Chain A
Amino acid sequence: MIRKEAMEILIKEIGEKPIISANGYISRDLFNVKDKKTNFYMIGSMGLASSIALGVALKNTKKTIFVFDGDGNILMNLGSLVTIGSLQPKNLVHIIFDNSSHESTGGQPTNSGNVKIKKIALGANYTVYEIKTEQGLMKILKKIKKDKGPVMLIIKIETLKIIGKRITHKPIKIKENFMNSLGEK
């Protein structure tokens, strides 16, 4: 499975719910798969998608908030797992597209193949699922509806050599769209 395929399955389940997507190819892929006003595309500040999502989740307890994160991204901000695990937002679903590489910068390796993010997240009080197939992903997405967050899905993906188009919205527009969409019930 490549990231875009995983995202297409995810989007069918997520619909219009808010997504905070990490910088680099993750945000680009989301933009190309399904551009919507409830997407907060990060352009810079690598590592912080889950922190922003935590802030949104704590203030919007009736909505399920999704994070589209990468292995390189979360490894840059492992402390975020500690804070999320301590505050226990029930409405946070943390999705990690794990290709064991920094794909956006040329495919250099990360250490997610050597150290298990799953074990770290379990230690941080997450409910964690590791997913390798499209069928598995569809099954887990149904299952987590009954789980109390924070929930983490680690989706193993293959790297792809095709680069998605850049996000064409200006940062201010991304923010305004996202803020306005949160206000809608």
Chain B
Amino acid sequence: MNKNFQRDVFNLLLKQGIENFIGVPDSTLKEFIGEGLKHKKIIISTREEEAIGIATGMTLSKSKSLVFMQNAGFANSLSTITSLVQMYKIPLIFLIGWRGYLPNDAPEHKKIGKIQPELIKILNLPSKIITQKNWKECCLWALKKNSENKVCSLVVRREFLD
């Protein structure tokens, strides 16, 4: 399993002007977060909604921000996404680790993993699945959305079991 592209994703986004990376750790995003920690650019919050709040404050200060989380935390954040991020039009980039993508993932991830694509769709949240092959174009797409003051999300599938 080659997950190194996550380190490239971090470095590209940092180089292209994303200044803040805030979230709750997720094993699917381990390499991304690891690279961010190496650069001392990560803020770990206690919950995902809190991360969105901090990122919102930074974005209001014209400092571009990304929020990372597992899809379980994304589900926790639905109300914050609708009544803060979307209502005030805060241009955040979400990076979401998708547990339950594999149907035989651990039981706690199955249901939420199954409805993950529908949750994003129903929220009207522009989203792309980011992989080893397309990571660069996905990052450029997200950066473009961000520069147009639009919120968007990048989803990393959990393609292995441990």
Contact = CB atoms under 8 A, between A and B. Distances in A.
Interface of A: 20, 40, 42-45, 47-60, 77, 79-80, 82-83, 87, 171-172, 174-175, 178-179, 182-183
Nearest to A65: B57
Given A79-B47, A174-B88, A179-B62, A54 B79 contact: no
B39 interface: no
B63 A48 contact: no
B53 A44 contact: no
B13 to A, nearest CB: 18
B45 A47 contact: no
B71 to A, nearest CB: 20
B53 A51 contact: yes
A58 B51 CA distance: 14
Given A51-B50, A58-B54, 4 more contacts: A43-B87, A48-B53, A172-B88, A182-B61
A48 B45 CA distance: 12
Given A83-B46, A83-B54, A171-B88, A45 B60 contact: no
Contacts of B89: 171-172, 175
Secondary structure type dominating chain B contacts: helix
B56 interface: yes
A55 B90 CA distance: 13
A48 B49 contact: yes
B54 A44 contact: no
B47 A59 contact: no
Given A48-B52, A87-B43, A20 B79 contact: no
18 contacts: A40-B60, A44-B87, A45-B53, A45-B79, A45-B83, A45-B84, A48-B50, A48-B53, A51-B56, A52-B53, A52-B57, A60-B61, A77-B47, A79-B50, A82-B46, A171-B87, A179-B62, A182-B61
Contacts of A51: 45, 49-54, 56-57
B58 interface: yes
Interface in B58-95: 58-63, 65, 79-80, 82-84, 87-90
Contacts of A48: 49-50, 52-53, 56, 80, 84
Contact of B57 (A43, A44, A53, A174): A53
Contacts of A55: 20, 53-61, 65
Closest 8 CB pairs of A and B: A55-B57, A51-B53, A79-B46, A44-B83, A59-B61, A48-B53, A45-B84, A56-B57
